[in-house]
Chain A
């Protein structure tokens, strides 16, 4: 199989993501039942995987995008790699110590760092989306800062309804892979 073949490259990346990312453990946190999860840090800390993950997100970034936005280390690593590829600047959002304070109803929202301007068109970069809560908080923080969130581009949709919730918030989504793509 030639590396030049786009489909083969994608299938190979899916295989590497499955191998590098999925892990399972007999005992979950606080004595809960065993869990299978995608450990995004194991994937995005490897340059070979990070670069390829950024490459598959590239087609999802609309031409009119002014900024890529990311919150949390894995998403930020992915957004940085993508920014290096396509030259669109980043904005960073700090992870809040108290997640409840990210609730849009609470007023202030997360600080957004980077060069901003009102109405800037932003694409949120996410590594993995499960329930979508993390992404939705990011989106609302960006909106509170006066930015126009035009899309969300994620590496993996774990198909736990997160994508639908984000879209209900009025944001288009693109995912490079769905859970089922990695388990074929």
Chain B
């Protein structure tokens, strides 16, 4: 299906290079959501659309849509163009440039509509909540909520968006079952599974949910030399037990990972028994019951510790996101495309969140991963082999044709 592989790889590499140059100063790529830099990246995409003979427009939330074939419903391909601070050049961008090439490869052969999207503000690092653009496009986020989301400088997401020339409040939910027949997203894996198994494509079947908990341990401060062990109420020793309980609980539950990524110790002195510890816990699972089960076990462990050690422990939920299943139908098309091209692939779950998880709540959505060498992502060293992106173009193009045929055949009046 891909006529000139070398030419395609050169084009992919050049576009990724061009996007990587749109960054704030410093190492790696820094292109926050709802920033002038993100808008510049979207303008570059609009220029490519013109080069590719398509039309681009941005919605009021800053999602850019490139129309290759008009008509509804359409197949939608794409990803995002923002980045974490000092991140890599492939996260998100790879999915957009691959989508453009796949769309070009099949546009003449499709009977239904075909569009490419670059969602805005996907990275949660900027405002503490990910996927703002796709949430606005699917109608799962009210624009008013952007007032309560603030970046590291304390500026509201709504204000940043307005400053970048956007008007999220005017964004209507345009991703519906009437408009989008299926959404496909390619993304770098951001982990080491594909590389370790020497597999080139991951077909994603579920995207993990996430629960964030904060556990506050309140003991009693005291002199580390004069307070006998039997008279202590050491909040950090209790927190240490809790850390191990979190690890043990996740190990018992297949498909759940749990991390205590932050401990705030007070007074944090060398000769003072810690009186206060706040632990922040991230629990991710592919099954809501398992995820809930681990959270419940952490809660039980905390209560048991509090009683045994005579300290106060409070567990609070900061946030909860359900795991999402991706759709069987487009997933089958991706797997069939891998089989037809003898491309080594595996089915896998995604521990990281993606726009696909948001879109999947509304329309049939599937996702493919390409390997990330050394599993490194969100760092300047993030890498991806161009030949794997070329493979991604091939798979996505073939899958788009198959989906087109399926929709045409199963829509009574034709698409």
Known: A22-B328, A24-B406, A48-B288. A1 touches B361 (CB 8 A): no
Query: Does B174 have its Cβ within 8 Å of any Cβ on chain A?
Result: no
- Chain A residues with CB below 8 A from B408, complex form: 26, 34
Query: Does B238 have its Cβ within 8 Å of any Cβ on chain A?
Result: no
Q: Mark B227-259 against chain A: 1 for CB-CB distance below 8 A, else 0.
A: 000000000000000000000000000010000
Query: Does B271 have its Cβ within 8 Å of any Cβ on chain A?
Result: no
- Chain A residues with CB below 8 A from B48, complex form: none
On A, residues with C-beta under 8 Å from B are 1-3, 9, 12, 15-16, 18-27, 33-36, 39, 42, 46-49, 51-52, 183
- Chain B residues with CB below 8 A from A23, complex form: 328-329, 332
Task: Check A16–B327 contact: CB distance below 8 A.
Answer: no
How big is the B interface, by class? 20 to 34
Min CB distance, A59 to chain B, in Å?
A: 17
Task: Check B406–A47 contact: CB distance below 8 A.
Answer: no
Query: Does B287 have its Cβ within 8 Å of any Cβ on chain A?
Result: yes
Closest to A18 in B: B327
* Distance, CA A47 to CA B323, complexed state (A): 14
- Chain A residues with CB below 8 A from B406, complex form: 24-26, 34
On B, residues with C-beta under 8 Å from A are 177, 255, 286-292, 320, 322-329, 332, 360-361, 364-365, 402, 405-410
Known: A19-B325, A48-B288. A2 touches B320 (CB 8 A): yes
Task: Check B326–A3 contact: CB distance below 8 A.
Answer: no
Task: Check A27–B409 contact: CB distance below 8 A.
Answer: yes
Task: Check B410–A26 contact: CB distance below 8 A.
Answer: yes
Q: Provide a sorted-by-A list of 13 A–B residue pairs whose CB atoms are within 8 angstroms.
A: A1-B320, A15-B324, A15-B361, A16-B324, A18-B327, A19-B327, A19-B360, A23-B329, A24-B406, A25-B410, A27-B409, A35-B410, A48-B290
- Chain B residues with CB below 8 A from A39, complex form: 328
Min CB distance, B328 to chain A, in Å?
A: 5
- Chain B residues with CB below 8 A from A19, complex form: 324-328, 360, 364-365
Closest to A28 in B: B409
Further 4 A-B residue pairs, CB within 8 A, beyond A16-B325, A19-B325, A46-B287: A19-B326, A24-B329, A26-B405, A26-B409
